[in-house]
Structure 1
Amino acid sequence: MKKTVLFFVLLLLVALAYLRIAIYPQLDLISGFSAKSVASGHFLDNRSLKTIQNGDNDIPKVDWATNEIDETHQFVTSNVYGFKERKAIFREGLGATLINDDFDVTKPYEVPKRTKISSNLPFPYGNLEQKDTVFANIDYEKLQNAVAIAFDKKGEKNKRTRSVLVVYKDKIIAEKYAAGFNKNSRILGWSMTKSITGTYFGILQHQGKIDIMKPAPIAAWQNDERKNITINDLLHMNSGLEWEERYDKICDATQMLFIDEDMTKSQIDKPLVGKPNQTWNYSSGTTNLLSGILRQQFKTHQEYLDFWYSSLLDKIGMTSAIIETDMAGNFVGSSYGWATTRDWAKFGLLYLHKGNWNGEQIFDENWAKYVATPTNTSNGIYGAQFWLNAGGNFPDVPKDMYRCSGYQGQMVAIFPSQDLVIVRMGLTEDPEFDFNGFLREVVSIFYRKERKVKIQRAQRPKSCALCIYRSEFFV
């Protein structure tokens, strides 16, 4: 009897020790992720707490959190079984910010000045619905099937796609949303935001205000070998700096996103573990450092805030877009960009057109080539804040395809040779969602030779996407 009791006591002590050493330190991250997710999803996209908890937050360990929304003061608190309570506040224009106990919520703050340009043009250059268009070289029935397969069947929860949008020659040829989402739903792009952040350097270079080939302006690096790291190296994730990017443990990336007050400094203190331009390593810290470098280009914080919208997002009509800030007022350029599916597609179209937006050159044509050129030692999978298919990672997809890519399978895929942009937003990645197969099926909708038979409206097959315009597809 005594031996049995002693065994269970020892077992309990071991369990408690494991919880204290392995689990307890993670509670800050769990409740932090949960609070931030609920605050953003609820206040930016009007999702209910139940929807967020059953969708965005149904991640192992994150689903341990208990969340409470304060509608009056616009904040969310989360804890894990009563431990490690975290708070995220919402501020109009800045989105949701995860804060600590030292953060002064009464302190005045600046917000970006937005300019929403109205235009009597159809998508993508205006807000009007596009004219009914049929392309003779597209198999619409095959397109409809390819898009439908990207979504779960009723009762399933495997692929978890939230939206798919296919744009060909500036025309939406297919658009579908999961239940609870529509063309006005803002969806978090996660690391697709990196591609937006990188674009500002192309804009500044086009304006003659920055030289990306010069050393990064980081004072802490000037007395050691890091002084040789260029902005170009940072854009290519090829600085040689130490960084661990994982989301299933406490590491550099999760510490930055859910603990640090100033995310632009997270990468600065890291030592060199390789040589600049010879050691590719994916790093969200690097992109936030780039956000900090952008801030240095302006005399005031207000100018920095305004630039992100006036030079790009508002200029190309991404009026739904919000880039959220950290406690120090920096845009979290690595991860916290929100926009509707259509607005994410506009960003892809800007690159498809090599920086030209309805006649205005936002960045040099060569910038599109620059971001889509493989960086050294990446094996053809990465360019400058964009992922590439040059290395054939998607074997059944054209190698000139490049993409914005984010956690849980967010994607804006750009196909220069097809004049095509495909957006997929969701909650799963490979292997749960077969991106190679999905992109292959969509790209295969094009006839090798354009049919000469002109399709009249009355001759369209009933299964054509155009014929169900008011239900699931929008063309």
Structure 2
Amino acid sequence: MKKIFLLPILLLTVFSCSSDSSSTPNPVEEAMYFPPNDGSTTWETKTIATLGWNQSAVQPLLDYLELKHSKSFIILVNGRMVMENYFNGHSATTPWYWASAGKTLTSTMTGIAQQDGLLNINDKVSDYIGTDWTNETLAQENLITCKNLLSMTSGIDDYVNGVYSDDVTPSSLNYKADAGTRWAYSNVYVKLQDVIANAAGQTWSTYFNTKLRDKLGMTGSWIQSGNNTIYWSTTRSMARFGLMALNKGKWNGTQVVNEAYFTQATTTSQNINLSYGYLWWLNGKASYHLPQTQVQFNGSLIATAPSDMFMALGKNDQKIYVIPSKKMVVIRMGDAADSENLALSDFDETLWTKIAALYQ
């Protein structure tokens, strides 16, 4: 049975079409809210009714989320909590993994390290971690910049012996194409964490906690899982990061990562996969590529979602959706909605049909 933390609904008096529309606040014009960083559970709320949304669309959305193995779901508008729902024994204090949605944490930390003067994303990776970090020739390796890792254009083969690989030991990082000429979704981006740690003279976790996690009032930690280090946190911590992203790197008046970098990170980063920035996925572009394939697909990643949306997407349908035009952040954590997947699935299309029914 699902636990539902649906905010209380205020009953509205029904007005004629000619009545004063000021009774329903415009969420775009309302001041942005940031929850306090004091460890409290305080978070301002907004009701479905006061937004003028469709209450009858709430239960179909919740039913679908539960059916599709969700553990948690949050909607923020202007930073205020509109829906907060937990399913299948999960709770507000239970941590869950971000999977590849956490790539956007690494992207953000790269921007922070650059603004701290520790690195330049246009420098080659070997400037920071030394040579022979791949199985390529020195000339091939020296073509790979930090920006190539951010944009998934390292040219390193995403397959090893015909099998998709997330191994980042040097023997598994083999040449496939010159850096910048091929887009391939690959775990090699994680080398940016080594770049940042070496440049900062600190462990990755220490620098991350000081420069990002603690500034946003997040909780959570990096946990080793096979060849990956995965971030685990509560759903509210993921929502805090999404709220910073909505505000282009700013948190409650403090610019955590500079806006110019964050704008670059959430804009097409190369001309191969138009729907990819710096480890962020981008909606509304003319075409896209997906993990484990070189096929180009025409159209928007999620046709049922707003075209200005950008996303952090992780294995088994971990989601941060950020929609600037609606001042909105949507979070979903859980098990795979259907079959196991690295980022996108048919779940996104149907989920957004049901989310859009709230406000259309």
Bin the TM-score by the shorter chain.
0.7 to 0.9
Residue of 279, 282, 297 corresponding to 2:199? 297
CA positional deviation for 1:311? 0.4
Aligned in 2, Cα 1:335/1:160: closer, same or farther, shift over 3 Å?
farther
Deviations 1:366-407 (A, max 9, x none): 222212222335432321111221331111111211111111
Deviations 1:19-43 (A, max 9, x none): xxxxxxxxxxxxxxxxxxxxxxxxx
Residue of 272, 280, 283 corresponding to 2:183? 280
Q: Separation in 2 of the partners of 1:352 and 1:424?
A: 16
Deviations 1:175-213 (A, max 9, x none): 111131111110111111211112111111222221101
Q: Does structure 1 residue 376 correspond to structure 2 residue 270?
A: yes
Q: Any conservation in 2 of the 1:163–1:425 contact (CA below 8 Å)?
A: yes
Corresponding residue of 2:63: 149
State TM-score, norm by structure 1. Answer: 0.58
Aligned in 2, Cα 1:300/1:336: closer, same or farther, shift over 3 Å?
closer
Deviations 1:141-177 (A, max 9, x none): 145235313333xxxxx51111111111101100111
Q: Any conservation in 2 of the 1:146–1:438 contact (CA below 8 Å)?
A: no
Corresponding residue of 1:462: none
Q: Any conservation in 2 of the 1:187–1:425 contact (CA below 8 Å)?
A: yes
Amino acid corresponding to residue 323 of structure 1 in structure 2: W
Corresponding residue of 1:385: 279
Where in structure 2 are there 5+ consecutive unaligned residues? 1-32, 286-299, 340-344
Q: Separation in 2 of the partners of 1:439 and 1:167?
A: 15
Give the % identical residues.
22
Q: Does structure 1 residue 322 correspond to structure 2 residue 221?
A: yes
Mapping of residues 77-92 of structure 1, within 5 Å: none
Residue of 261, 264, 271 corresponding to 1:367? 261
Corresponding residue of 1:308: 208
Aligned in 2, Cα 1:166/1:183: closer, same or farther, shift over 3 Å?
same
Q: Any conservation in 2 of the 1:164–1:176 contact (CA below 8 Å)?
A: yes
Q: Separation in 1 of the partners of 2:60 and 2:143?
A: 48
Residue of 152, 157, 174 corresponding to 1:271? 174
Residue of 340, 345, 351 corresponding to 1:438? 351
Q: Any conservation in 2 of the 1:125–1:358 contact (CA below 8 Å)?
A: no
Greater shift in the superposed pair: 206-215 or 348-357 = 206-215
State TM-score, norm by structure 2. Answer: 0.75
Q: Which of the pair has more CA radius of gyration?
A: 1
CA positional deviation for 1:325? 4.0
Q: Separation in 2 of the partners of 1:228 and 1:307?
A: 27
Residue of 122, 131, 148 corresponding to 1:219? 131
Corresponding residue of 1:115: none
Deviations 1:255-282 (A, max 9, x none): x3xxxxxxxx525762321122220000
Aligned in 2, Cα 1:335/1:206: closer, same or farther, shift over 3 Å?
same
Q: Separation in 1 of the partners of 2:192 and 2:85?
A: 35
Mapping of residues 20-169 of structure 1, within 5 Å: 123=35, 125-126=37-38, 127-134=40-47, 136-152=50-66, 159-169=68-78
Report the number of matched residues: 301
Aligned in 2, Cα 1:273/1:225: closer, same or farther, shift over 3 Å?
same
CA positional deviation for 1:442? 1.7
Q: Any conservation in 2 of the 1:266–1:289 contact (CA below 8 Å)?
A: no
Q: Separation in 1 of the partners of 2:265 and 2:45?
A: 34
Amino acid corresponding to residue 221 of structure 2 in structure 1: I
Deviations 1:403-437 (A, max 9, x none): 11111111011111111000011212467862122
Q: Any conservation in 2 of the 1:238–1:375 contact (CA below 8 Å)?
A: no
Corresponding residue of 1:98: none
SS in 2 for 1:228: coil
CA positional deviation for 1:251? 4.5
Amino acid corresponding to residue 142 of structure 2 in structure 1: K
SS in 2 for 1:150: helix
Aligned in 2, Cα 1:353/1:122: closer, same or farther, shift over 3 Å?
closer
Amino acid corresponding to residue 323 of structure 2 in structure 1: F
Aligned in 2, Cα 1:267/1:250: closer, same or farther, shift over 3 Å?
same
Q: Any conservation in 2 of the 1:229–1:239 contact (CA below 8 Å)?
A: yes
Q: Separation in 2 of the partners of 1:316 and 1:282?
A: 28
Q: Separation in 1 of the partners of 2:172 and 2:62?
A: 47
Amino acid corresponding to residue 95 of structure 2 in structure 1: R
Mapping of residues 188-207 of structure 1, within 5 Å: 188-207=97-116
